Chain A
Amino acid sequence: MATTPQLLFEEARREGRKKLLEHEALMLCEHYGLPVPRYGVATNSKEAVEVATKIGFPVVMKVISPDIVHKSDVGGVALDVKTPDEAREKYITITRSVMLRAPNARVTGILVEEMLPRGLEMIVGASRDPFFGPIVMIGVGGIFVEVLKDVSFRVAPLTPPDAYDMLRDLKGYVLFGGFRGMGPLDEEAVVDVLMKVSEMITQLDEVAEIDINPLLVYERGRGAKVADVRFILGDTRGE
């Protein structure tokens, strides 16, 4: 599966998509060295079992389709899949359910992903501002972002001092000292993610928006993981 970011963007454009599919988004993140869950794409139930076994149980399974926005509404998601039998069964259930409830949707396959342990939920985003150009954002997830607007912005490219400062700028930063029985959190892993997102928005002219939500942050030394990520492409025709 050798490809470049440019080939991914070309393919999306050819298919008239403004958004990268999940596995494409994960590939792009991997390419930039972002910590993503182990994953694979299955196009039949046998492959689903193979991929899941290779990743290790439990896994999450999700339908990949450019036409479905809310996957769970059409029965396109299975969480906490524990055994090979269950993986086979869920592959069939998901495919059937999607065919019934969204008969016209194109289906690329089923994404099988490592099920991630719980951690502090953060969001990391990037976009382009009309005055400042590429910008990067970070916030503590859930109600912190929605209600308290606890977010911090910087102009890209970030330097490590910027990234540390923007993280410490958050009111929710106090959570990094440890909470609910967790020890201090892995600040460096978050800074690393910020730096890489900054690299992406600075280098990839085709990308209009990046949205990592949630980024799961673990105890110090245990890193962070991109649990979900979206890339929205802009109108640039490439170089």
Chain B
Amino acid sequence: MESELYRLFYPRGIAIVGASKNPSKIGHIVLKNILDGGYKGRVYPVNPTAESVLGLPCYPSVSSINGEVDVVIVSVPADKTIEVAEDAGRAGAQFLVVLSSGFKEVGNKELEERLVQVARKNGMRVLGPNIFGYVYTPAKLNASFGPPNLLPGNIAFITQSGALGIALMGYSIVEEIGVSSVVSVGNKADIDDADLLSFFLNDPNTQAVIMYIEGISDGRKFLDIASEFSARKPIITIKAGRTEFGAKAAASHTGSLSSGPILWEGVLRQVGALQVKDVQTAFDYARIFERNIKLPGPNVLVITNGGGAGVQATDTLAERGIRLNEPPKDYVDYLRTFLPPFASTRNPVDITGGASDEYYYLALRKALEHEEIHSILVLYCQTMTTNPMKTAEAIIKAVQETDIKKPVVAGFVGGPESKEAISYLYRAGIPAYPTPERAAEALSAIYLYSKRRSVVEARLAYLKTLYGKSQRLVETRIIGEK
């Protein structure tokens, strides 16, 4: 079944109310982003005082447009939005994307409620208000005033914070995270996280979702949809207000009150979401989940050229509940055929500081082929005698030649050459990180997700049998009568 939000992401036509000639105005930037992004549908600037903007003829109102308009982007002062909503309704639009501020976040709750009422009465749903817009790369649609050159990929972002969301768009470019979508939800007057999750759940272009959440209005709806979502794709959450102090700041920020941080922690576990403390970890996880790697089993093998890096990774994995087992005996025997006698063939396998690219290639290739090794963490410390790019090539060669879909994660520590090697690995489809700890934590995310998912699946199965039979768990009996 087509999602209710389908036309928001695949609009046939978009009107921009408040489109402006002035390049510093939001109405100008959004229009420019839409045009530059390569969106294939029709675009209609609406501005009663201009004849044309960015080479397109202007319309005095949405209803004066002769053509299909599914989405109306609203960038006019708050008190003008009702008028726009009524006009857009007459024109048969399906979505109002309200960028304007000056609603509930400043105490103007009545105006926000009226806006939603008018929209609903006219058969429209509202995204926002108080947002920077949204992006959907499969439709080449950048209807936001964020950066224009996002990398297409399969991670969706849902953010309640505007400025942080825009900054994250930029940071995703730096970190080379490919996105399917970025949605600013702002005050969530109508369309909320649950609505968006139900779209992304069935969106073949989205593998995982990162959410920045401050608060929520309908906890039950979120619980239901997020659980269903986690059973199929990972949700990575950054929950604002992890401390009581932060929770107060979050509540005053959007005016959407949130419950206590410890309750939230429980709720996020209950729905199977991965809660991370910071943006960097969210991106590190996204890099892993972008590949949609399935977890084949519990045995992690660490290959390193530095003992210290191996220990750091071992500790990080142990803290996440992953213990390293001894490598299989035939694998050890094989390593002994080429490694120097002072190399360690336990787990982590230390192929020694002077390890050649060939050692990496041979050790990794055999590990990929070995049935009892399920995922591999390859660590590299840059030394004067080794070359990070060559090592990266050796790793890629092993992975490509075997074509076995096991999680392989790399941690490359060193200077600018190592950084280049990380990018190179990542582009070749191998998640790579600049420290052993980050690489280990990212790998552990696959295990964590698989654990969370099995709890959620069990929970959903239980609820299904339960509600299939009766709404109530136990019928009321008379006390004393046994």
Contact = CB atoms under 8 A, between A and B. Distances in A.
A131 B259 contact: yes
A71 interface: no
Interface residues of A, number: 35
B248 to A, nearest CB: 16
A189 B474 CA distance: 18
Contact of B478 (A4, A135, A161, A169): A4
A165 interface: yes
A161 B452 CA distance: 11
Contacts of A149: 262
B153 to A, nearest CB: 32
Interface in B434-482: 455, 458-459, 462-463, 466, 472-474, 476-481
Contact of A203 (B259, B267, B473): B473
B265 interface: yes
B219 A129 contact: yes
A159 B257 CA distance: 27
A5 B455 contact: no
The A interface, classified by DSSP as helix, strand, loop or mixed, is mixed
Given A130-B257, A130-B259, A152 B459 contact: no
Interface string B198-227: 000000000000000001111110010000
Contact of B474 (A132, A133, A152, A199): A199
A143 interface: no
Contacts of A130: 257, 259
Interface in B340-394: none
Contacts of B215: 131
A129 B259 contact: yes
B467 to A, nearest CB: 10
Interface string A202-234: 110000000000000000000000000000000
Interface string A78-116: 000000000000000000000000000000000000000
A161 B266 CA distance: 13
A8 B476 CA distance: 13
Interface string B256-295: 0111001101110110000000000000000000000000
Nearest to B220: A133
A199 B473 contact: yes
A157 B269 contact: no
Interface stretch (A28-36, A42-50, A54-62): A28-36
17 contacts: A129-B259, A129-B263, A131-B215, A131-B218, A131-B257, A132-B220, A132-B223, A151-B262, A155-B266, A160-B462, A161-B455, A161-B458, A161-B459, A161-B462, A162-B270, A165-B270, A165-B455
Interface of B: 215-220, 223, 257-259, 262-263, 265-267, 269-270, 455, 458-459, 462-463, 466, 472-474, 476-481
A-B CB proximity, top 6 nearest? A153-B266, A132-B219, A161-B458, A159-B462, A2-B480, A131-B219
